[in-house]
Amino acid sequence: MSTLCTQFQTDGYLVIEDFNTHEACDALIIRAKELAEGYRPGENKSVFQTSDQVQTSDDYFLDSGDKVSFFFEKDALDDHGNLKGEVYPSLNKIGHALHDLDPVFNAFTRSPQMKQLTTALELDRQWIIQSMLIFKHARIGGVVDVHQDSTFLFTTPDTCVGFWFALEDANAQNGCLWAKPGGHHTTLRSHFVRKNGGSTEMKTLDSSPYDTGDMVPLEVKKGALVVLHGLLPHYSLPNTSGKSRQAYAIHTIHPQAHYPETNWLQRDMSTLSDFHG
């Protein structure tokens, strides 16, 4: 087993600085802006938030597993659901199949260094099931409450692993990730379930509170990669600074694990592919 593998299993996360070049990060930011410019206001204005136990669950969200869909910050819409300002600075995220549908995102996701790293971590054959461009714009970017990614991509056994790419510097002021080394040695607290009829429910599996006291800020520079175990509790604070904190995140599952139909994200599983794509 490689040293990286051992470290990942011990800490539940890895921080790898200088994983991507600044040029590669900029190319993704530019592409996201182009995609946002192609969004037609009026089609849909779906808000994405995970604060106060509020979970996005409208049809637009539930149907976004195999699409490039746009989600807005709660504070970007007025009481009538209309955008207060421009589209781009109001976006919370774009998801959830960028890695399969967009050539620029596909190349970034399945880059030579990702093939090399995931091979070293014995994760190269994991299926990439979800991708998100997360904006966290200056002053408007909202909180993401403490959670485990396996809650949203539940498999039996648990196999969810996330890859979080810093497209800009991320620090305590603009809403970096927070987590505790070894924090993944714990139970899965909940499962975000899609119910018949199109509603969703946060099903409690273990009501123990998260221990957030020992969590540390994962401050990273533009170009860094953070690998996250699916059971690792983590969160990020609102961006109260004047600097945006854009990140790109992908999530993977083992192809042989059971992926239930109750998971919110559903797509044709025969279309999924790994890092060799």
Amino acid identity of 117? L
Residue whose CB is less far from Fe ion, 149 or 158: 149
**Least distance (Å) from Fe ion to the CB of residue 213?**
19
In the bound complex, what is the minimum distance in angstroms from residue 234's beta carbon to Fe ion?
Answer: 6
Distance of closest approach, residue 218 Cβ to Fe ion, in angstroms: 12
Stretch touching Fe ion by CB under 5 A, among 114-122, 145-153, 201-209, 236-244: 145-153
Q: Distance between CA 118 and CA 50 in Å, rounded?
A: 29
Count the Cβ atoms, other than its own, within 10 Å of residue 33: 13
The least distance separating Fe ion from the CB of residue 240, rounded to whole angstroms, comes to 20
User: Which of 100, 102, 149, 158 touches Fe ion (CB under 5 A)?
Assistant: 149
User: Of the two residues 28 and 177, which places its CB atom closer to Fe ion in the complex?
Assistant: 177
Backbone angles phi, psi at 80, to 5 degrees: -95, 5
Minimum CB distance to Fe ion, residue 143 (Å): 12
Contact 142, 48 (CB under 8 A): no
Paired strand residues for 226: 15, 164
Nearer to Fe ion, 20 or 148 (CB): 148
Q: Is residue 168 involved in binding Fe ion (CB under 5 A)?
A: no
CA distances to 1, 4, 103 from 9, rounded to whole Å, are 11, 9, 32
Least distance in angstroms from the C-beta of 256 to Fe ion: 23
Q: What is the 3-state secondary structure (H, E, C) of 135-168?
A: CCCCCCCCCEEEECHHHCCCCECCCCEEEEEECC
Nearer Cβ to Fe ion, position 102 or 149?
149
Q: Using DSSP, state whether 34 is helix, strand or coil.
A: helix
Closest CB to Fe ion: residue number: 149
Query: How much of the chain is in helix, strand and coil states, percent to nearest 5?
Result: 25, 25, 50
Applying CB under 5 A, which part among 19-27, 84-92, 98-106, 141-149 lies near Fe ion?
141-149
Residues that bind Fe ion (CB under 5 A): 149
